[in-house]
């Protein structure tokens, strides 16, 4: 079945470090891919998205490229800040329906 797999957390980094959170997917069709972020005490927010192969989504210094050949959508940021500490969810939706399929979430902890 369709699924999303994220790297397990928590991921702990120092401020200004480079971040990668891996996300791979399995889908029978051609999904749209999303990264959502949940800051402490808040609801989910869409961080970025990509709707077709080779698209790059970007927002707030975060980037992710839709790689069809490796079925991946890894989240990256060049220099993280303490304020980036949150839980990050990778998700996909297929054209045939609009139910989101979620990864388990990766908790990111940035230390000053």
Partner 1 sequence: GAVVSQHPSRVICKSGTSVKIECRSLDFQATTMFWYRQFPKQSLMLMATSNEGSKATYEQGVEKDKFLINHASLTLSTLTVTSAHPEDSSFYICSARDRRRAGGPQFFGPGTRLTVL
| Interface positions with partner 1 (CB under 8 A) | 32, 34, 36, 38, 40-41, 43-46, 49, 87, 91, 93, 95, 98-100, 102, 105, 107
Nearest approach, Cβ of residue 99 and partner 1 (Å)? 6
- The CA distance from 84 to 19, in Å, is 10
How many residues are listed for the chain in this entry? 112
Q: Which is nearer to partner 1, 20 or 96 (CB)?
A: 96
**CA separation, residue 49 to residues 19, 32, 110 (Å):** 18, 7, 23
Spatial CB neighbours of 43, under 8 Å, sequence gap ≥ 6: none
**Using an 8 Å Cβ cutoff, are 107 and 62 in contact?**
no
Q: In angstroms, what is the minimal distance from the CB of 34 to partner 1?
A: 5
Q: How far is the CB of 75 from partner 1 (least distance, A)?
A: 15
Residue closer to partner 1, measured from CB, 41 or 112: 41
């Amino acid at each position: 079945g369709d699924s999303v797999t994220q790297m397990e957390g928590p991921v702990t980094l120092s401020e200004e470090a480079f971040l990668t959170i891996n996300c791979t997917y399995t889908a029978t069709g051609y999904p749209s891919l999303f990264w959502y972020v949940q800051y402490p005490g808040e609801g989910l927010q869409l961080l970025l998205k990509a709707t077709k192969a080779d698209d790059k989504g970007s927002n707030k210094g975060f980037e992710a490229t839709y790689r069809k050949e490796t079925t991946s959508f890894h989240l990256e940021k060049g220099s993280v800040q303490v304020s980036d500490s949150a839980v990050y969810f990778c998700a996909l939706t297929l054209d045939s329906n609009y139910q989101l399929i979620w990864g388990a979430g990766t908790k990111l902890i940035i230390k000053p």
